[in-house]
Amino acid sequence: MKRWIERLPKMELHCHLDGSVHPERIRAFYRQTGRPWPEEAPLRARESCESLTEYLRCFDLPLQWLQTEAGLEQAVRDLLGDAAREHIRYLEIRFAPTLHLEGGLTYRQVFDALARGCARGEAECGVVSRLIVCAMRHHTQEQNLALLDAARDYFPALICAADLAGDENAFPTALHAPFFRQAAAWGIPFTIHAGETGSVRSVREALDLGAVRLGHGIALARSPELMERCRASGVGIEVCPTSNFQTRAARGWADHPLRAFLDAGLAVSLHTDNRTVSGTDLNREYLRAVNEGGCTPAEVVRMLRNACAASFAPEEVRRDYLRALEEAAPGV
């Protein structure tokens, strides 16, 4: 099963750049700058992580490195190399551009550096990639609208969609309705982090705003009405099991809604969320779903097809991917 999963061509739609930085890049950065290594700042979440708040502390060090054009470009190239080794054909990379301005970069410098990283990574590894720009819930409407305006020139060749991330309990999704109304007006599709911390309200608000995908969506399982709404409209559900366990969105497989989502016919697919922080990769997520979550090979292929259908990839990329998946798993 492990070898079969590893050989399958894959798509990944929910992977954060700052949560997937190679640890050696951070250590080299500290050596080069002469800074003492902050022992109290982790790069990887504990299996016994107590909350989303604790989990998010693991992003502090990577974000310090990702304040330069060289760092951003290298991080993307590293990530695409990882993806190629996992037989990923297409990768959507999430990042919050405003968080990369603290060292003096402009939005344009950030986007151009990532564009170079994506182009070089694709040339080196053959993995097609696009970016999803994340507005932050704790940022003002003005900040997030400025981000969207800066990103507009890069859509759709580099940036394929928008997102909203952060503490959904403290900052409700509806607060950022102007951001998503503007995205819709400009023809930019969006996925929204919603339902990761148990908030059915957050899921409902995301759907009401027009999200075509939900990041995590764990709380969705608590509302048969919203589950049916997602099934009927084909909303993609981006599930990240290892991350969900670490943030206590789910306490274990018995508590995780993946099985309920599959049985209800939802367009669910598996993703890593944060490779370094969660100590995972996409092959591991699918293998865990089989060995621990009880998924069948047919359900693995079904989730990969779901990922393709929900992706913001160009039509020719999706078509080529489905052909490759059929060749790798004929009749499954």
Per-residue CA distances from 271 to 55, 78, 229, 306 (Å):
17, 18, 22, 12
- Check the CA dihedral 276-257-7-122 and report its sign: negative
Q: Which amino acid is at 247?
A: T
Q: Which residues are catalytic?
A: 196
Rounded distance between C-alpha atoms, residue 92 and residue 76, angstroms: 11
Q: What residue spans of the chain are helical by DSSP H? A: 2-7, 23-33, 52-56, 60-65, 69-85, 107-125, 141-151, 177-185, 200-209, 224-233, 241-246, 258-263, 275-278, 282-291, 297-310, 315-328
User: Residue 88: which of 306, 330, 309, 325 has the closest Cα?
Assistant: 325
Task: Give me the residue label for tokens 């990923």.
Answer: 88
The dihedral built from the CA positions of residue 198, 200, 205 and 211, taken in this order, carries a sign that is positive
Residue with tokens 């304040």: 67
